[in-house]
Chains A and B, each alone.
Chain A
Amino acid sequence: MEDKIYAYSTSPHVKTPRTTKKIMLLVCLSLLPTTITGIAFFGLKALLILLLSCASAVLSEMIFNLIAKKDITLILKEFDFSSLVTGILLGLALGVNYPWYAPVIGSAFAIIVVKMLFGGTGKNLVNPAVTGRIFIFMSFQAAVTAWIIPNGDLTTSATMLEDFLGGNLPTLSNVDLLLGRNVAGCIGETCKVALIAGGLFLAATGVINICYPALYIGVAGLFSVVLYGFDFAYFLPSILSGGLMFGAIFMVTDYTTTPNTATGNVIYFVFLGLLTAGLRKATGMESVSFAILLGNLIVPLIDKFVINRPFGHSRTRKEKAAKNA
């Protein structure tokens, strides 16, 4: 350790100022409009839930590191905001009628079980925020059935999406859905304008490729149209309601849980779109998070079978003949 003359590492040897920390900060920034509109719509309870889930996520990461006997200065130096992103995403994916300890437990579960036990940032098998949300969803079933409409007096109702999956066309106009006016749902998923703004910001800074979320949303919408008997009146409501846009822009685009190749990505996002629309139709409830969890699990499989052809490599005649036969 004392004579450290050469720093050696594996390729690529390109240096870039873009680090995990900076990317995560950009993601946090892009979530800002959604957070603000969420708090504006749902009030102080939304702020409380967000603060609790963020604090729990960051603290549980630090506590895990302390238990794993990492040095405290190293922990602070290596803190890369990814747990903060998980915390915000999880908080935004919850409704305001959850008890206060739900985001705390969900964030701790997401960080410790889903992320840290698998080796920390970049090594998790599935998206922590999505898994945390499903954990909370399954744990507080009483809170899930009632959603709050943010219009002066807070009344509870089934979400727009649940209504519409039953076969009724929505009572709210598409503009209302886009702006999130009087829409019941999770804190972060109602105002689509803020979500799209965040997505465009991420695309402009090069953090995500906007084509993939667009592909996911498009396929999900079109498949809903097919499932409801080619009625194109269903296209816009199905992509504008529920958590589809939120999940597509912020949750599936997580680097760790997307395939490595362009072909793999196309397969992955088309699969997710079909799965989301199919599950929505089959279960009659919002199933974006379940679709994402299932999709995450097949990512290693896609990466195993979709491999980029090395430059200059061509298949030998024997293999070709074997394939044709």
Chain B
Amino acid sequence: MKNDYKKIAFDGAIKNNPTLKLVLGTCPTLALTTAAMNGIYMGLAVTFVLICSNVLVSLLRKAIPKEVRIPAFVLIIATFVTIVRLILDYFLPDLNDIMGLYLPLIVVNCIILARAESFASKNGILPSALDGLANGVGFMIALTLMGAFREVLGRGEIFGFKVWNFTLDFFGTSAGAFFTYALFIALFSLIYGAIADRKKDKAFSPVLKEPNGEAE
């Protein structure tokens, strides 16, 4: 059982990273990665909504009829997004302005709906909560990394602190957002591929160590 939890956490945050591996939730990723801090804010908001909606969907999974499950999920998600919005609007209005349109758009964020549909509606409460946390953290890590990359190159700052005077405005533009996203997906595909190759090498017999297979 403990192993299962480990697997859920690892799958959600790293192995099936929603942003870099499944390419879900691209809209906030492209729009909000101009700074590293934005990634953390957005990641926190999404993580909160993910955990809450996963728990509620998991609780109600036997009560919701199969035919109307998607509207029901959207209703649950929208409830929590509204809660986040109202809280932010009251306590942190500046942050609310930064996130702007992308905060209400969490309702239609693919990650949350995908987790509700493919995980929470089939699993118990505790695994669902963990799954929500793992996916949210995965989303947050990806957004923060991309935000840091674009912030350093585009503005010469990281988390708002000056690093150098050198800037490439390209990375601050939307073209730079697409470019950075592609670059990160490529980079992580490379890393995942290398890890998979190493696992395969270990799994096979030690005789065929040559990658070209030129052994007699």
A residues within 8 Å of B by Cβ? 101, 105, 117, 135, 138-141
Q: A139 to B175: give the CA distance in the assembly, Å.
A: 11
A-B contacts, 17 listed (Cβ < 8 Å): A101-B166, A105-B168, A117-B186, A135-B170, A138-B169, A138-B170, A138-B173, A138-B175, A138-B176, A139-B167, A139-B168, A139-B169, A139-B170, A139-B171, A140-B168, A140-B169, A141-B169
Chain B binding surface SS class: helix
B residues within 8 Å of A by Cβ? 166-171, 173, 175-176, 186
Q: A151 to B25: give the CA distance in the assembly, Å.
A: 54
Q: A101 to B167: give the CA distance in the assembly, Å.
A: 11
Q: A255 to B74: give the CA distance in the assembly, Å.
A: 51
A105 nearest CB neighbor, chain B only: B168
Q: Determine the chain A residues whose CB is within 8 A of the CB of B186 once the complex forms.
A: 117
Q: Determine the chain B residues whose CB is within 8 A of the CB of A101 once the complex forms.
A: 166
Q: Determine the chain A residues whose CB is within 8 A of the CB of B171 once the complex forms.
A: 139
A107 to chain B minimum Cβ distance, whole angstroms, is: 14
B166 nearest CB neighbor, chain A only: A101
B214 nearest CB neighbor, chain A only: A1
B118 to chain A minimum Cβ distance, whole angstroms, is: 33
B179 nearest CB neighbor, chain A only: A113
Q: Determine the chain B residues whose CB is within 8 A of the CB of A138 once the complex forms.
A: 169-170, 173, 175-176
B183 nearest CB neighbor, chain A only: A113
Q: A101 to B175: give the CA distance in the assembly, Å.
A: 21
Q: Determine the chain B residues whose CB is within 8 A of the CB of A141 once the complex forms.
A: 169
- Return the 10 tightest CB-CB contacts between A and B, nearest first: A139-B168, A139-B170, A138-B170, A139-B169, A141-B169, A135-B170, A138-B173, A138-B169, A138-B175, A140-B169
Q: A117 to B168: give the CA distance in the assembly, Å.
A: 21
Q: A141 to B186: give the CA distance in the assembly, Å.
A: 28
Q: A139 to B171: give the CA distance in the assembly, Å.
A: 8
Q: A105 to B176: give the CA distance in the assembly, Å.
A: 15
Q: Determine the chain A residues whose CB is within 8 A of the CB of B168 once the complex forms.
A: 105, 139-140
Q: Determine the chain B residues whose CB is within 8 A of the CB of A139 once the complex forms.
A: 167-171
Q: A139 to B168: give the CA distance in the assembly, Å.
A: 4
A135 nearest CB neighbor, chain B only: B170
A141 nearest CB neighbor, chain B only: B169
Q: Determine the chain A residues whose CB is within 8 A of the CB of B176 once the complex forms.
A: 138
A101 nearest CB neighbor, chain B only: B166
Q: A135 to B167: give the CA distance in the assembly, Å.
A: 13
A132 to chain B minimum Cβ distance, whole angstroms, is: 11
Q: Determine the chain A residues whose CB is within 8 A of the CB of B175 once the complex forms.
A: 138
